[in-house]
């Protein structure tokens, strides 16, 4: 049973850690140390593996919940799985919808400075959803840790 909890917590820890590191360390460091054009290229290059890591962690955490359920262990509330699904859906939305639109808005910004507001709106949505994913991940880690018997 504890392997399922371990897999679940490790998956969440890696995912939450990547969100914290990218949002609060990598992005600010890149944006403050090189030109905006170069920073945009670096950040855009990081997005794909960043979201793939989220997908992988979401799949591993889902697998842990499935293992727990099939092994006849104590059930975890359905709400936990729903929070996890919401996190994965947010990651997919950010990657596929917002990410593509932000890249297009950024390219259009080079030709038309009036696109600035559109780009910043998409950036705010991205940042807000990343923070929601972070909060949901912390919540799931706390809920899981509070149920473990050490």
Sequential DSSP letters for the chain: -HHHHHHHHHHHHHHHHHHHHIIIIIHHHHHHHS-HHHHHHHHHHHHHHHHHHHHHHHHHHHHHHHHHHHTT-PPPPHHHHHHHHHHHHHHHIIIIIIHHHHHHHHHHHHH-GGGHHHHHHHHHHHHHHHHHHHHHHHHHHHHHHHH---
7-23 pLDDT, tens digit each: 999 999 999 999 999 99
Domains of the chain, residue spans: 2-147
Closest CA to 117 of 109, 129, 126: 109
Give 70's contacts (C-beta < 8 A, 6+ positions apart).
none
Mean pLDDT of 108-129: 83
93-114 pLDDT, tens digit each: 999 988 888 878 777 777 777 7
For the whole model, what pTM was predicted? Answer: 0.86
CA distance 31 to 35: 7
40-82 pLDDT, tens digit each: 889 888 988 999 999 999 999 999 988 888 887 666 778 888 9
Q: How far is CA 139 from CA 13, 122, 144, in A?
A: 11, 26, 9
């Amino acid at each position: 049973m504890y392997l399922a909890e371990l897999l679940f917590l490790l998956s969440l820890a890696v995912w939450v850690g990547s969100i914290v590191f990218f949002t609060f360390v990598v992005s600010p460091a890149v944006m403050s140390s090189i030109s905006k054009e170069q920073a945009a290229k670096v950040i855009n290059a990081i997005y794909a593996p960043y979201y793939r890591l989220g997908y992988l962690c979401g799949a591993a955490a889902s697998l842990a919940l499935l293992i727990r359920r099939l092994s006849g262990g104590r059930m975890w509330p359905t709400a936990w799985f729903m929070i996890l699904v919401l996190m994965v859906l947010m990651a997919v939305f950010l990657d596929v919808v917002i990410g593509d639109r932000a890249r297009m808005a950024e390219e259009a910004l080079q030709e038309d400075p009036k696109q600035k507001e559109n780009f910043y709106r998409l950036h705010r949505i991205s940042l807000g959803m990343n923070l929601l994913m972070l909060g949901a991940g912390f919540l799931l880690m706390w809920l899981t840790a509070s149920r473990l018997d050490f």
